[in-house]
Structures are given as C-alpha cells and as structure tokens.
Amino acid sequence: MRHVPGNRLCPTRLTILIAALTLAGAAGADAAPSGAKDATSTSTSTSPWLGEDLPLPLAVRTPADLAVKGVAERQYLIFNLLTAGKLAWDAGKFSVAAEKWETLLRLPRLDAELDQVIRPLAALARARGGGTAPSLPPPTPPAPAPASAPSAQTGSVTGTVSGGGTLGPGGAVVWLKRTDGKTPHATPARNKVVHQVNKTFVPRVLAVTVGTKVDFKNQDDLFHNVFSLSRPNDFDAGLYKGGDSYTRTFSAPGPVQILCNIHASMIGYVVVVDTPYYGQADASGAFSIRGVPAGEYESSAWHEGSSKVAHSKVVVTADGARGVVLHVAGDRNRPTLIPDKYGKPRQAQLGY
C-alpha cells in the first residue's frame, strides 16, 4: 500500500481498538508456549483478511482530498501492521509478528501510547522467533501536557500596626479576606508548636489557619495543665509532665485564650483564621503577607490589648500593596480574674 505523507489525524476510536488488540496480544504472549517458533498452524480466526490495500477507493480532486487520503492510508497501514502482527502471534509465527511490529515502530510520528504498548511485545516476539532485531528508533516521547492557565499574579501586602496600649502593637494578627466572597480555603499549617518554658507560653501569640494541629510541648521540669474556655475551640489537656506534649486541632476561626490550670500567670493565645492571607506584626508593628492576588480585601487586625477586631479596606494590585496602616485599640486591660479550667475563680491563698 502506498503511503502519502500528511497531517496525522487523532483517531480516538482507532486508538481504543489498537489498545484492545494489543492487550489481547499481551494475553496471547503469556499463553503461548515458550519454545514455539514459527509454527505452521494457522490462525483460529476464520474471518477473511481485509488485505493490505485500502479497501475503499478515495477520489483525489483537490489538495484537501489528497491530505485526507494520505491520513487514511497511514491509519490503515498502522492497523494492518498491528493486526497482522497479532494474527501471526496467534499462529505461532513469532518472527513474522516481530517483523510486522518492528515495521510499525519505525513509522515516523507514531503515537506514544501505541509505541509504549507494542515495543515490549515486539521484543518478546523477536526473542521467541529468533533472528536479529533491526535497529529501532528511540521510543516516541509522550505528548507534552497542555499548558495550564497562568496563575493569578500575586504580590505582598506590607504595612504597620499601631496601638495596643501598654503592650504595644507586637503580636497583632492581621488577615485579609476578599470582599467579593471568593477567598480560597486555607490549608492547615504544619509543625506548629506552643512551648511551655519557665512557666510561660512561647510564643505568647500564635496565628494558624483553620484545621491546624498545634502541639503544646512542656519543656519545664514540672507539670502543666493547658486548657482553654474559648468555645468552640475549648479543650483540657489534663496534667502532663516535662518532655510530654498535648496536640489540639483548631477547627473554628477566632481567638483562643490559652491558660494553665496550675500556673495562673500563664496566658497565651492561638488566633485561628479562615484565609490563607495572614501575617503577624513584629515588636515594632511591621507585618507582611505574601502571595496575595490582586483585588479588594477587608483587612482584620486582632490584638490581645484590644476589645474589638479592627477592620479596614485594602486594594491589592498586581504589585501588591505597600504602606498599609492599621490601628488597634489598647482598651482591654489584663484580666484581674484568671479562671481555672472549670471557669471558677482561683483560690489566691494557694499561690498559683
């Protein structure tokens, strides 16, 4: 059959047929006796062979007709070499099967998936049929994956937090949420730890995303009983000695006050946010939030010295937003009454 070069058609149905036939060939390879070589038995199939020539006449009157004819002839050639090799395999004519499949593998621009299936079968047929295998071109590389849509350009939001009363602005937690309601879900953070060191929580304030597991690790040579009454994130770790830790998953957004049932002086906070865009101010009040796509956001700033969360609008461009100024009040005094884990006042005479 004459082959006329042309652009390759994507034969989805033919690819499915090819895959089915080659899988059947693989099954025949497992079932065939290993010592058989070029047996003279005929194929069990009684269906007449279609022949090597394209069974349908295709008229060529225009360049487009010629292109279609070339593509059709190529696909029929692939079908012939594929199935002729399979029929030869079934008949025990392994060297013929190898010849057909090796010819198929030498076709230019062969589909990578077909190459991947036929190449090992051709090698097996050659090994059983004997003879010298001709040199074959390297395997057809897989087609490159379609390029994904470019990700939205992101920038950094930087600024300062002021206020916080006598505590200063340090430790303020700042987060951003899109005003169009399309804030993506935040991924739980990993490896978050609040240490108990010298009867203090370190860090005093920890910002995490919803679903984050936090380890409360006791590094003192004494017992601690970490707990919180902040619902719905309340918990009670119970007593645990130095070197041990307690893990808590924070599944709801909001500030969580952390206390110790043994040491009333220990106060800390885990601030849970439901956005991937968040940061925490350093001692000077400076903060930075990276990877923020362009858009309009509502910023929120929490501080332990403020009775309310401060809100404002922030417009983020492709270059981010710089010089954002936020202010938190300092109207919340340190609590004079530190409750125990049952919510009751501590007994001051016990000295804890």
Give pLDDT tens digits for 148-205: 444 468 899 999 999 999 999 999 999 999 999 999 999 999 999 999 999 999 999 9
Q: Is 214 exposed, middle or buried (0-12, 13-18, 19+ CB in 10 A)?
A: buried
Shared domain for 63 and 168, answered yes or no, is no
The mean pLDDT value for 319-335 works out to 90
Q: Answer whether residue 47 is part of any domain.
A: yes
Distance CA 54, CA 69 (A): 10
Q: How far apart are CA 270 and CA 212, in angstroms?
A: 11
Please check whether residues 120 and 201 belong to one and the same domain: no
Can you give the pLDDT at residue 36? 38
pLDDT for the residue numbered 228:
97
User: Count of residues for the chain?
Assistant: 352
Top pLDDT among 127 and 57 is at 127
Query: Taking residues 30-55, what's their average pLDDT?
Result: 48
β-pair partners for 314: 297
Same domain, 168 and 289: yes
pLDDT at 37 over 60: no
Mean pLDDT for the stretch of residues 13-26: 42
Within a domain: residue 146? no
Q: Are residues 110 and 188 in the same domain?
A: no
Domain of 194, CATH number, reads: 2.60.40.420
Residue 32 has pLDDT above 90, yes or no: no
Q: Are 8 and 71 in contact (CB under 8 A)?
A: yes
Residue 55, pLDDT score: 74
Find the domain containing 35 and state its range.
12-129
Do 181 and 75 share a structural domain? no
pTM here is 0.57
Cβ(106)–Cβ(115) under 8 Å? no
Per residue in 56-86, pLDDT (tens digit) is: 777 878 878 888 888 888 888 898 898 888 9
d(CA 218, CA 201) in angstroms, rounded, equals 10
With beta carbons less than 8 A apart as the criterion, state whether 272 and 256 touch.
yes
In a domain, 3, yes or no: no
Closest CA to 174 of 182, 165, 164: 164
CA–CA distances in Å: residue 28 to residues 50, 83, 128: 22, 13, 13
User: Once rounded to an integer, what is the mean pLDDT over residues 318-342?
Assistant: 89
**Other residues' Cβ atoms within 10 Å of the Cβ of residue 107:** 17
* Residues 117 and 212 reside in one and the same domain: no
At 284-297, the pLDDT tens digits run 999 999 999 999 99
Rounded (5°) CA angle 182-187-191: 155
Would you say residue 144 lies in a domain? no
For residue 213, pLDDT over 90 is answered with: yes
Q: Is 327 helix (H, G, I), strand (E, B) or coil?
A: strand
pLDDT over 90 for what percent of the chain?
Answer: 54
Are 199 and 79 in the same domain? no
Instruction: Provide the mean pLDDT of the chain.
Output: 82
Q: In this structure, are 272 and 333 located in the same domain? A: yes
The answer to the question of residue 41 being in a domain is yes
Number of structural domains (the chain) is 2
Q: Could you give the CA distance from residue 337 to residue 347 in angstroms, rounded to a whole number?
A: 10
Task: Indicate if 170 and 228 belong to the same structural domain.
Answer: yes
Please check whether residue 203 is in contact with residue 190, taking contact to mean a CB–CB distance below 8 angstroms.
no
Residue 182 lies in a domain: yes
Residue 117 and residue 217 share a domain: no
CA-only gyration radius of the chain, Å: 36
Q: Same domain, yes or no, for 268 and 318?
A: yes
Residue 234: predicted pLDDT: 96
Instruction: Specify if 301 maps to a domain.
Output: yes
Please check whether residues 163 and 74 belong to one and the same domain.
no
The residue among 197, 215, 333 whose CA lies nearest residue 206 is 215
Q: Is residue 142 part of a domain?
A: no
